[in-house]
Every structure is written in C-alpha cells, then in structure tokens.
Structure 1
Amino acid sequence: MTTVYVVFYSLYGHVYRMAEEVVKGVKEVENVEVKLFQVPELMSNEQIEAAGAKEAKESFAHVPVIEPDMLAEADGIIFGTPTRYGNMASQMKNFLDQTGSLWMNGALVGKVGSVFASTATQHGGQETTLTSFHTVLFHHGMIVAGVPYSCGELMNMDEITGGAPYGATTLANTDGSRQPTENELAIARFQGKHVAGITKKLHS
C-alpha cells in the first residue's frame, strides 16, 4: 500500500481547511492510504488566545501531532503552511530543522514532496513560500511535485484566487475573514490527487 502524509501548520484554520481538501484528493487514487498530521505549536495558549485563534485551533485539535522521524514512514508528503513574510511559518521551520538525522541517513531520498500555503493578501508571498520550501525538500533528495496547468482552476481569471504551478494556495485577508474559495479548494484537491498518483507510480 502506498502511503501519503499531509503535514500542516495552521493558526486560524485556513491551511487546515486546505489540508482537508488535499486529503480528499489523495483519497481519489486507489490503493493509496493518506494520514493527516499537524506539527507542534510553539505559541503558548495565552499567545494563541491573544491572537484571536483559540476557537480555530480547537477546531482541529483532534488532528495528531507528528514527530520528525515519522516522515520516513511515508512514500509521499504534502506539507501545508501559512506564509510569514514570504517564508514558511516558524512552527513548520522548527519541525523541519529537527529532521537532520533523516537527512544524514537519506531517509527521505526518492520520496515525493509537495507544498501548499496560505497568505493574507493576493501578493503576500505565496509563491516565495512555496519555492523556498521546495529548497528544503531538494536537500532531502525528495522528488518535488507542484500543480500542472492541466488543473484548469489555475487559469481562472474571473475572480481573485490563490493557486500557482508550485502548489495550491488560499488568500485569508489581513483579518483572516476570507475563507478558501471553491476554486482554491479544487486546486488543493487536484494537488492531492496529482501527488498521490505520482507517488503510487514511483512506489510500485
């Protein structure tokens, strides 16, 4: 059985919502098992409450927290992160910084890696977050997959929408009030299915 992990960090729930759709996309591929995980939080409960994120965090508190060494169990890994000034969130970076032993042992070499993200604004660094995250995956020897233009939703010019050939994205607004649109969710599902299909072929 081919196994794909979806590993995310989310504060206000936008990346979690995208992760749910990525999981749905993976499930469309037969004989591929998918597991959803979140990375550890670095903020205190007091900081989360002060940021107005307590309710959102509680909505996905049931999702298990992954340990770095668990990445080696998967055949493909799809990571999700909010954007922080054009880069991944510190929680995700801290998690990846703990994968040194996996790197030393080549434990992720040949596995498929992919990334999706959320930004506050239309030009808030979604593409730099995705491509800079890819650098980490290349260092691990992973085979990086994005979202090809066979995903028709990438060509949507009728609305403001996230999505790039580097990965699915959503735009949350500066106050977090904007939720992922159907167009953005469709790209996320496509990414899940696309990565799962590649992973299955390579694993077999």
Structure 2
Amino acid sequence: MQPYILILYYSKYGSTREMAHLIADGVEAAGLATKIRTVPALSTVVEVAAASIPAEGDIYCSLDDLAKCSGLALGSPTRFGNMASELKYFLDQTTPLWLSGALQNKPACVFTSSGSMHGGQESTLLSMLPPLFHHGMMILGLSNAHPALSNTQSGGTPYGASHVSGSRHEKTLSAEEKALCIEQGKRLGQAALQLLKA
C-alpha cells in the first residue's frame, strides 16, 4: 500500500476544511499522497443515526485510515479554547490503536480556525496535542524560518497553522495563513518521508 498522510479535521463553517486541503497541497508537494477525512457532527438528542457516508464533502475517517497513515495533520475549530467535541469524540474511540501502538513514532501536527484573534487558537492547538503524545506520535510545529509566521497580521502560531475567520466567518484565509498551511504540510510530508527511509 502506498504511504499517505492523513489530514483529519472537523469543520462547521468551512475554514478548517479549506486549511486541511491547503495542508494536503503541501504534503503532496513534498512527495507523499494524502487522505483527507472528517468526522460526523454530534447531536445531544439521538433521533436517527447519521449516514456512514456524508451527503457532500470529505468522507468520515475510520480507525483503519488512522492506523495505516504515515503521519497525521489534525484540525479543529476553536471551542472556548479547546478542540471541537466532534473531534474529541473520535479521538476517544482510538484506544485500540493506543493498545497496539499503531501511531507510535509517526509525525503529527495540528491546525485550527477561530472567529476572533483572541478566540483561543493556541490553547486549542495545545488541547489537540495530549492524545497525540499518548499515542507516541512525534509533534511538529511551524518553524519561524518561514517569513509568513513573523509577518502575519491574522492567524499563524509556532504550534501550528491557524486562521481568524471573523465573528460571522466571513473572512477568507489571508496569503500568510495559506502559505503557513502549505508550509506545515510540506514539513509534515518531509518528516514522514525521512522516517519512511530510516
């Protein structure tokens, strides 16, 4: 099977999804294939089970997609400084992968989008890291060697790519935010390739 990087995200308004696809562009520029996957929305009242394949957009992630990846980019919108419950719920189901060590020594990174500059981007990125550490993954941030990290007036952190979408999610990704997503994907792809050759 061809090695691939899994880009796993949850997105409600589309910004995190756009970031996922830009990160995939960076991974592919580094020379690795990608699988882009999402997770289903959660409901506090279960009336009917959601379809196993969404009506549109990226398909839902399976544990098998995660187990067989050569690296992971994990993305979520901010929810009061934390990852979205939809993504957390999926990660809570990964105990079998933890028991088997399926993700050990694989590179990983995180990315996020928030409605405001002070929407908790950095704490959200940090909230996504503990499950990855528990799985034994190797965490990659963004290097300040990339000028966009120092020049951005919107999203972008050393912990991972980020975007400020506006209170009504009306702001598109800035040139710097796009560049940082692509750079993060390239860095992840390059690290995975080095590990695959080792």
Give the TM-score taking structure 1 as reference length.
Answer: 0.87
Corresponding position: 1:184 with 2:177: yes
Q: Is the 8 A contact 1:2 1:199 kept in 2?
A: no
Per the TM alignment, residue 170 of structure 1 is displaced from its structure 2 partner at its CA by: 0.2
1:41: which partner in 2? 41
SS state at 2:4 partner: strand
SS state at 2:155 partner: coil
In structure 2, C-alpha distance between the alignment counterparts of 1:62 and 1:21, rounded to whole Å: 15
Give identity over the alignment, percent: 37
In structure 2, C-alpha distance between the alignment counterparts of 1:152 and 1:203, rounded to whole Å: 29
SS state at 1:194 partner: helix
Name the Cα RMSD after superposition: 1.5
CA shift digits 1:91-128 (9 cap, x unpaired): 00000000011111111111111100001110111001
SS state at 2:110 partner: strand
Q: How does 1:153-168 map to 2 (within 5 A)?
A: 153-156=148-151, 160-168=153-161
Q: Is the 8 A contact 1:109 1:142 kept in 2?
A: yes
1:125: which partner in 2? 120
1:22: which partner in 2? 23
Unaligned runs of 5+ in 1: 45-56
1:141: which partner in 2? 136
SS state at 2:30 partner: coil
Give the TM-score taking structure 2 as reference length.
Answer: 0.90
2:51: which partner in 1? none
Write out the 4+ residue segments of structure 1 that deviate beyond 6 Å after TM superposition.
Answer: none
SS state at 1:37 partner: strand
1:83: which partner in 2? 78
Amino acid paired to 1:42: L
Unaligned runs of 5+ in 2: 45-53
Amino acid paired to 2:188: V
2:165: which partner in 1? 172
Per the TM alignment, residue 70 of structure 1 is displaced from its structure 2 partner at its CA by: 2.2
Q: State the aligned residue count.
A: 187
Q: Is the 8 A contact 1:23 1:192 kept in 2?
A: yes
In structure 2, C-alpha distance between the alignment counterparts of 1:132 and 1:197, rounded to whole Å: 25
